[in-house]
């Protein structure tokens, strides 16, 4: 099972690719995708890894696009 998060700010294609690349490098075991419209992040990983992956995701998106936060949307 995965979880989908909404980005609270618009980001560019370059910012999205950079954030996903950094997350994938840190968490190669996780399935991490960003939607084509750059508004949703989908994360698939083991339940015990979500806290670690999402902590890094929050920090990376905040750094890549100042002020960008992630808000849980739904399970996928």
Position 1 pLDDT exceeds 90: no
What lies within 8 Å, CB to CB, of 63 at 6+ separation is none
Q: List, for residues 3-56, the tens digit of each pLDDT value.
A: 999 999 999 999 999 999 999 999 999 999 999 999 999 999 999 999 999 999
Phi-psi region of 33 (alpha: psi -120 to 50; beta: other; left: phi over 0): beta
Q: What is the mean pLDDT of residues 55-60?
A: 98
Q: CB–CB of 16/34 below 8 Å?
A: yes
């Amino acid at each position: 099972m995965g979880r989908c998060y909404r980005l609270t700010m618009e980001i560019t294609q370059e910012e999205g690719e950079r954030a996903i690349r950094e997350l994938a490098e840190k968490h190669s075991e996780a399935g991490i995708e960003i939607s084509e419209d750059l508004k949703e992040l989908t994360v698939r990983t083991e339940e015990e890894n979500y806290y670690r992956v999402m902590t890094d995701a929050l920090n990376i998106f905040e750094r890549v696009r100042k002020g960008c936060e992630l808000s849980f949307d739904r399970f996928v």
